[in-house]
Structure 1
Amino acid sequence: MSEAAPASSATPGAPSPAGTSGPLGSTSALHGPTAPLAVPPAPPVPHASAALLASLSPLLHDWLPRQRWFAGKGRPVVGFTLVSATELLPLSGSPGLLHLLVRAQQPAVPARGTPSPPTADCYQLLLGVRRSLPPALAPALIGYVAQGPLAGHTVYEGLQDPKLAGLLLERLRLPGAIGSLRFDKEPKAVVGSGLTPRTLGVEQSNTSIVYGDSAILKVFRRVHAGANPDLELPLALAAEGSTRVPAPIAWFEGANPEDPFEPFTLGLLQPFLREAQDGWQLALASLAVGQDFTREAHALGRATAEVHLALAASLPTLTLGRPQAELLGAQMSERLAATVQAVPALLPYADGLRRAFDAVRELGAAGPVVTAQRVHGDLHLGQVLHTRDGAWTVIDFEGEPAKPLTERRRPQPVVRDIAGMLRSFDYAARSHQPWSPDWAARCRTAYLDGYTAASGLDPRRQAVLLRAYETDKAVYEVLYEARHRPDWLPVPMAAVRRLAHAS
């Protein structure tokens, strides 16, 4: 959950890579059949071995679960498997840079009724290697290696080392392949050199590095085989001529040894909008001085509609019928039942909330329900930037990182995004004391009016779906706040009470 803490960029001499540019699997899917990631076979790397992993495992067991982007918190790591290892900077030097894709094996998440298999999420690690660590890099320390190929070396978080962070930019500036990795960029894009890197500390699920004031690199930490929507959708929008999304400049991927047609998206370089302000902070500033926010909300509705229209024009759409409506309603009901078990405070409202999901299951009885298309998937005020000229830009198309990639790439009704933004207005209003329900109501109306004006589609005409998605989002918020921020639980509970009694 990130309504209260916006993510991404606005909250905010290396050797050349070997190889040559070539087709990239994840982007070719936008225009035709997917091609495998074309990288030459990795040269023999003595460190990419069982001995390397065995020597690093004791350090990773302690360090990895403590990272904010580690998804398996609350469950022990019982082992690691090595997917790939690439020396981006020779480990014989100081510093060296070792790129690893590692699967962390963990016990299954307990499920009701049926056992679940263990999980093995894949994580991207960029490890700096030195004989001794300078004092300035002490906070980046992972540990000292006592045995194996790196015995006697210090291993640390490489992205906190300006020299190693600068190397990544050089790799992106001069595309090509090295080992199992491929670096690529838009043909006409210019990547500056010698830009000073600084790591942003606001991300929950990824790591971002700003270079100078011109570019920002998002390094994905928990990675999945297949095209990451945060690269796929901005590329599609750029091809459609949309100016509502920062166009990708460069990116890098890793070959998937299990399926060459489904590489791992590892990092994305985009323009850094230095003077932009994220929507969450802008909304809070408006509330703090009692200023009206409806003009901004109306413009944000227009921007959302323009993004949806461009996505529908560039990527396939489909029509949801009765089976899909029944499945959607059933899935929402299942999430509600699981959340009621975890958060008993939800129990008095469960029947009222379930009515919203039952109404979705009944939608398809009269025929086709609604068009589904690619959407943002996690839209809220922290995912939009307000530029100096007053325009809104949408960022972070990764979707909800905790959900499977296949689900995040699935076409969905646009009201899912709209419901997320409506909930975000409510979060902003509730975070201000005294609570400003009228402020939230005015923003919601203005946002919906702006969306209607730009798209010709009034989301309020899809009232059943809109209420269901907003209810589902509120249920998700209840579970998140109960687990992570109990002081915030009254915010979604207020929405639960309202939605449970909606007609």
Structure 2
Amino acid sequence: MSALTDLLAEWMPHQRWFPGKGREWSGITEDGFFLDEGTPAVSVHRVRVTYTDGGAETYLVPLSWRGAPDDELAHAYVGAVGDNHAYDGLRDREATVPWLTHLVAASTVGPLHFHPAGVAYIPEGVPGDVISGEQSNTSLIYGETAIMKVFRRLEPGLNPDVEVHDALRATENPHIAPLLGHVEVDEDGGESATVAFLQSFVPNASDGWRLATSSVRDLYAEADLHADEVGGDFAGEAERLGEATASVHRDLARVLPTAEAGAEWYAQLAAQLIARLDAATAIVPELAEHADGLRVLYGAVGDIAEPTTAQRVHGDLHLGQVLRTTTGWIVLDFEGEPARSLAARRELDSPLRDVAGMLRSFDYAARHMLVEQPGDPQLAYRAQEWAERNRTAFCAGYAAASGTDPATSPLLRALEADKAVYECVYEARNRPNWLMIPLTSLARLASS
């Protein structure tokens, strides 16, 4: 390996966006090119990691290069190659400027192709600031007008985030932030992979997760009040969020393909749910306790006879994917579950997949503080009360806007359980002390 691949092999496993933690590597290769040769120089690298289990993944790693160490960038330091010092190119503010410069110019730089949407102003010459807390990607805010998401794991094909936002432009849906452009990179075999996605930034907006968890803290602080009596009650916002979700689903069905789903589709879905449960149980042994009940729940999906419409959906909807503005809710990040393949994320699905994801998020918001106080029955009761109140409100809002009550569907509970199984794998690998949250929910879902 070269000196740079040695550095990357040591640095990447410690990055939050890298999902291969705990898997044994069999090799690493990289190829790179310069995006900008100024000061600092900016290079873009495609890093291919192979695993001993036979898997392989390609990651995008932008780097900035300086001739001397910079103490102000110590948090972004990757390492030295000879006399040159490499930094995370998305955490070095000066190194983020060329991305939008090339997008405005619709440039081609090596294998990178920049595609402006041509519908709104793109801020040029402005540095980007990294948003903290993201997991699988890295996003930069440019001033108060644009936000760029950089997709760390590369897969051939157009990312659903770009595809969906581009399609929704024609609907002028008020719950979507407009697309400004995207960047692609040529991959082996002739197909491009989406590298980055730029959309309008929504200033003065509040993150859904922060609003919800603030409401939970208010409830925990009031020992004698119920969830509907606390000043920070979130149920009204949950209902409006349900309405916004239904609005987005309606427009997705208008501008992207749909298909009638019948008995065969339900049977295939049931088989997929059971297969994912079996795979997850091999990773998280604690799931075995609930496996029999979940198989009964999933098996019932295969018996559903009533036809439905499958369509494009968000695929990974939760409170961290929505913003509350002065005029309403904005839905973000239509790329789907990052752990699934790009082809799987673009498949037609039931809109209830998104409803289930949001219901799971309400459970997380209610219970995340219990991780530090797992033995307090009073807090556990209040968490359940808050979660149920807001889950009910969200479904009511969705029903009012769509004309269909999701809570009455036999499919919803199975999809919610499927999401919780996915969460178990994630928590076991990344936050073992949070594993109690999805396991507690699965105990309820499996016994229903």
Does TM-score exceed 0.5, indicating one fold?
A: yes
SS in 1 for 2:298: helix
SS in 2 for 1:318: strand
Contact 2:94 2:127 in 1 (8 A): no
> Match of 1:444?
391
Return the letter of the residue paired with 2:205: A
Query: Shift of the alpha carbon at 1:123?
Result: 0.9
> Match of 2:184?
253
1:375 aligns with 2:313: yes
> Match of 1:294?
235
Stretches (4+) displaced over 6 A: none
Distance 1:165 1:204, change over 3 A: same
> Match of 1:78?
26
Q: What pairs with 1:100-249 in structure 2 (closer than 5 Å)?
A: 100-108=45-53, 118-146=54-82, 152-249=83-180
Distance 1:496 1:75, change over 3 A: closer
1:470 aligns with 2:442: no
1:64 aligns with 2:12: yes
Q: Of the candidates 299, 302, 312, which is equivalent to residue 253 of structure 2? A: 312
Mapped partners of 2:60, 2:165: distance in 1: 22
Q: What pairs with 1:13-32 in structure 2 (closer than 5 Å)?
A: none
Mapped partners of 2:419, 2:100: distance in 1: 37
Query: Shift of the alpha carbon at 1:228?
Result: 0.6
Identity %: 44
Mapped partners of 2:66, 2:364: distance in 1: 46
Query: Shift of the alpha carbon at 1:498?
Result: 1.4
> Match of 2:335?
398
Distance 1:395 1:329, change over 3 A: same
Q: What pairs with 1:490-501 in structure 2 (closer than 5 Å)?
A: 490-501=436-447
Query: Shift of the alpha carbon at 1:472?
Result: 1.1
SS in 2 for 1:122: strand
Mapped partners of 2:388, 2:252: distance in 1: 28
CA RMSD of aligned residues (A): 1.9
1:388 aligns with 2:326: yes
Q: Cα deviation per residue 1:42-62 (whole Å; 9 max; x = unaligned)? A: xxxxxxxxxxx7342221221
> Match of 2:202?
273
Query: Shift of the alpha carbon at 1:95?
Result: 2.1
Mapped partners of 2:333, 2:8: distance in 1: 28
Distance 1:167 1:468, change over 3 A: same
Mapped partners of 2:64, 2:393: distance in 1: 49
The farther-off stretch of 223-232 and 439-448 is: 439-448
Mapped partners of 2:430, 2:110: distance in 1: 40
Return the letter of the residue paired with 1:486: P
Contact 1:373 1:411 in 2 (8 A): yes
SS in 2 for 1:160: coil
> Match of 2:358?
421
Q: Which has the higher contact order (CA 8 A, sep 6+)?
A: 1
Gap regions ≥5 residues in structure 1: 1-52, 109-117, 147-151
Return the letter of the residue paired with 1:420: G
Query: Shift of the alpha carbon at 1:340?
Result: 3.1
Gap regions ≥5 residues in structure 2: 219-229, 371-378
Q: Cα deviation per residue 1:14-60 (whole Å; 9 max; x = unaligned)? A: xxxxxxxxxxxxxxxxxxxxxxxxxxxxxxxxxxxxxxx73422212
Mapped partners of 1:122, 1:424: distance in 2: 29
SS in 2 for 1:56: helix
Q: Cα deviation per residue 1:289-329 (whole Å; 9 max; x = unaligned)? A: 23322211111111000100111000001122223222211
Return the letter of the residue paired with 2:298: F
Q: Of the candidates 289, 293, 298, which is equivalent to residue 352 of structure 1? A: 293
Contact 1:104 1:122 in 2 (8 A): yes
SS in 2 for 1:78: strand
> Match of 1:283?
212
Return the letter of the residue paired with 1:346: L
Return the letter of the residue paired with 1:447: F
SS in 1 for 2:179: coil
Name the structure where helix makes up a greater proportion of residues: 2
Query: Shift of the alpha carbon at 1:85?
Result: 3.1
Count of residue correspondences: 426
Return the letter of the residue paired with 1:287: V
SS in 1 for 2:115: strand
Q: Cα deviation per residue 1:44-90 (whole Å; 9 max; x = unaligned)? A: xxxxxxxxx734222122112222111211223333344x5332112
Mapped partners of 2:365, 2:6: distance in 1: 43
SS in 2 for 1:73: coil
SS in 2 for 1:100: strand
- Normalised by the length of structure 1, the TM-score is 0.81
Query: Shift of the alpha carbon at 1:344?
Result: 3.3
- Normalised by the length of structure 2, the TM-score is 0.90
Mapped partners of 1:206, 1:482: distance in 2: 20
Query: Shift of the alpha carbon at 1:144?
Result: 1.8
The farther-off stretch of 492-501 and 401-410 is: 492-501
Mapped partners of 2:34, 2:286: distance in 1: 51
Query: Shift of the alpha carbon at 1:222?
Result: 0.8
Q: Cα deviation per residue 1:405-431 (whole Å; 9 max; x = unaligned)? A: 111111100111001111111222223
> Match of 2:374?
none
The farther-off stretch of 413-422 and 478-487 is: 478-487
SS in 2 for 1:58: helix
Query: Shift of the alpha carbon at 1:432?
Result: 4.8
